[in-house]
Chain A
Amino acid sequence: MKHRLNRRQFGLGVAATGAIVVAPGPIRAVQAATPIKIGSLLPRSGYEALIGQGCQRSVEVAKKLLPDMGYAFEIIDADTESKPEVARTQAEKLIREGANILVGAFDSGQTFAIAQVAEQNGVPFVINIGSDPAITEQGYKFVFRNFPTSIMLGTNGLSRFNDLFKATGATPKTAVLMHVNDTFGQSMLKGINALMPKLNLPFEIVETIAYDPQAKDLSIEVAKAKAAKADIHMVVTRLNDAILMTREMVKQRYEPMGVISPGSPGMYQTQFLKVLGKYAEYAITNVPWLDPRQQFAQTFEAAFKKAYPDEICDIDAGFTFEGILICADAHKRAGSTKAEALVEALKATNIKDRVMLGGAIAFNEKGQNVNLPSAGVQNRNGKPTVVLPAENAELKPVFPVPGWSRRG
């Protein structure tokens, strides 16, 4: 039977069309209120699973906290399985599933793969954690990073050393540097070697010791470090090796003025503090951290603590949360989920109320946020605490640190 438009239907149609034409305001509001689909990629299985699952906790907190602040978004979670090939296919999959923006991915190799997919498909990508400088040097238009490059980490981390010595009046003359021999460790090493002459640090590195990231036993390395008889012990580690190394230092009775990291994971992480107990105290890591003076940081930390009372709200937690915040904020300002609009909004990002230490979140022409200073974070009373810079500190730094045998 042929469908014939009857008078009532025609009338209704005219009315509807009229309504839409006459009222563009509410319709546009509907479009802006269309939640943005954020594709979140993290290594939740595979050898980086521990970190990935930790970061995922922040994503969960973001899902609950941010909508109350007026952001409209939906997060699609994906697992990169700690492998670049999987990161690539999962990024493609997220885009097929309608992700308007991607965020991730902790590991530089996986992040690089995702960046390529994002760039190829014209989908914006916000890097929450990933320090390889090369990623923002490729001339990508769709990639933005809110995390320091290893060069920035090295520079900012090393300059905190001077602040530490000034604040405590103790000045070491020599240092031994122990670093993990992987991508991260080597790029930090390069950075440190390049920066040492430029930063006027009072000490010189007398011995550099590289070790295998898979090492189960660091007794040889620590023995070598002890034999160097340096004043301070500088480290670039990951988590398990930090634990192994500290244990060996205690066993071998190696007591430098302090153990300081110019910007690497390990010594501030939950597992480190839990396993080593009193021997984890006084370790210093110079790394971006949550700003104790920022209201938003306190709100976020409280929400995080409530959901995960046994976990430390650390740098990874903070930056993962900021990654989601940046995506949601760009969407709010753009008023659209279209890629071009989002990219323009991202370029204009200027978030003052943030979680991490530093000025407002903003990106330079390469898509990199260059304003991410390192705080001096010292383990005190079982919690990593900001001790530098003085304006943001919660406690005064302790240096030189008490010997192992004198730990309460």
Chain B
Amino acid sequence: MRSRRFPIVQRRAAAALALFVAAMLALPFFVNGYIVSVLVVVLFAAYFGQAWNIVTGFAGQLSLGHALYVGLGAYISAALFTHYGVPPWIGMLAGVVIAALVGGIIAALSFRFRVGGVYFALLTIAFAEFTRILFDHFNWVGAASGLFLPVSSLARTDVLLLRGSPVMFYYLLLGLTLGALALCHDLLRRRIGYYWQAIREDEEAAQALGIDVFRYKVAAMALSAAMTSVGGAFLAFYENNLYPDTVFAVGRSIEIITAPIIGGLGTLFGPILGAVVLTTLGEAMTSLSSGFTVNGLKQWCYGAALLLIVALQPAGLWPWLRARLGLGAVRR
């Protein structure tokens, strides 16, 4: 009988997911433009978080310079579009190739030279910062003056050229996020996923078992970088203006990692939950303090929230929520 093949917990999880997806699909019809623009921010955070989760959550290599790949994806697709009219979906591919190469090289260099843990994290920051300063002087992409995309009549919705309202971006990003979720789910069930988790838990033991640790770590980084760059391309076409100091900033790298850590590092749904919680918290704070301005209060509450999570639920909110909802963990 079917119920033996699909235990109650998995059926419930599938049902919950279906409900979630349906709700997200329907949402723009019920809320106003402001909420949609906030949701777009949530989806960007969720997607970047999922991409980062692969190298840090699954494979256990802490990367603190992921803004590098956001920037590469954004700048390459934007520059190709502005200078040669290359449509973003193709420019995105160029970005993916370059980001995967860069990520792979950084990983390969580091791991070949046995740079791991904290040192590796610092190396990723160094590469991101170096690239930021480089782009500040790179005239083809506008250097520090910034790169502006030509914005055509905004009433038009053109998916091929990624020109359109926040609602269009909402659906595209939703598709991207759900696609990433599906991809991660699949990867975790394959050999590569198990190898990654083994490397994360105990690299030496994994090595001893014959796993080519180097190869899989580099693969994780390359994939993570590639996925991040796709998000970067979307970001470029959504914001329509890019400055190296904001796109490659350390602050952005840190923003990227807070959502998945709060949601639950290494889990599938963690980055999405983290993104929702953080953005809601942020907007709530802005609304609450709109009457009076206490400069810094929002950041203070943000820091306090982070502290609470680290102190009380270091594994993240999703494992706790999942247990509460009875969606259980058949595997992590």
Contacts and interface: CB of A to CB of B under 8 A. Distances in A.
Interface of A: 44-45, 49, 53, 77-79, 81, 83-86, 88-90, 92-93, 95-96, 108-109, 112-113, 116-117, 119-121, 132, 134, 138, 181-183, 185-187, 190, 213
A92 B245 contact: no
Contacts of B165: 120
A84 B145 contact: no
Contacts of A95: 33-34
Given A89-B41, A95-B34, A186 B154 contact: no
Contacts of A89: 34, 37-38, 41, 283
Instruction: Bin chain B's interface residue count.
Output: 20 to 34
B286 A79 contact: yes
Interface in B149-167: 150-151, 154-155, 165-166
Contacts of B293: 44-45, 79
Nearest to B291: A77
B286 A185 contact: no
A121 B151 CA distance: 15
Contacts of B32: 96
A121 B33 contact: yes
Contacts of B148: 112, 134
B28 interface: no
B196 interface: no
23 contacts: A44-B293, A45-B293, A45-B295, A53-B295, A83-B246, A88-B37, A89-B41, A92-B36, A92-B37, A96-B32, A109-B241, A109-B243, A113-B239, A113-B241, A116-B154, A116-B240, A117-B37, A183-B145, A183-B146, A186-B144, A186-B145, A187-B145, A213-B245
**9 shortest interchain CB distances as A-B pairs:** A92-B34, A186-B145, A120-B154, A93-B34, A96-B34, A92-B37, A134-B148, A89-B37, A186-B144
Given A84-B241, A88-B37, A89-B38, A109 B246 contact: yes
Among B34, B166, B293, residue most surrounded by chain A Cβ atoms (within 10 Å): B34
A138 B165 CA distance: 17
A84 B243 CA distance: 11
Given A89-B34, A92-B36, 12 more contacts: A44-B293, A45-B298, A53-B295, A85-B41, A88-B239, A89-B41, A92-B33, A93-B34, A96-B32, A182-B144, A185-B144, A190-B145
Interface in B228-245: 239-241, 243, 245
Chain A interface, >50% SS class? helix
Interface centre among B33, B144, B155, by most A CB within 10 Å? B144
Contacts, number: 77
B210 interface: no
Interface string B23-35: 0000000001110
A138 B243 contact: no
B136 interface: yes
Contacts of B241: 84, 109, 112-113
B7 interface: no
Contacts of A88: 37, 239
Interface in B111-127: none
Contacts of A109: 146, 241, 243, 246
B176 interface: no
Interface string B246-275: 100000000000000000000000000000
B143 interface: yes
A189 to B, nearest CB: 9
Contacts of A113: 239, 241
A222 B311 CA distance: 48
Interface string B43-69: 000000000000000000000000000
A45 B298 CA distance: 10
A116 B38 contact: no
A375 to B, nearest CB: 26
A81 B295 CA distance: 10
Contacts of B295: 44-45, 49, 53
Contacts of B246: 83-84, 109
A93 B240 CA distance: 20
Nearest to B165: A120
A252 B19 CA distance: 69
A405 B246 CA distance: 42
A109 B151 CA distance: 14
B245 A182 contact: yes
A201 to B, nearest CB: 23
Contacts of B136: 181
A81 B290 CA distance: 12
Contacts of A45: 293, 295-296, 298
A58 to B, nearest CB: 16
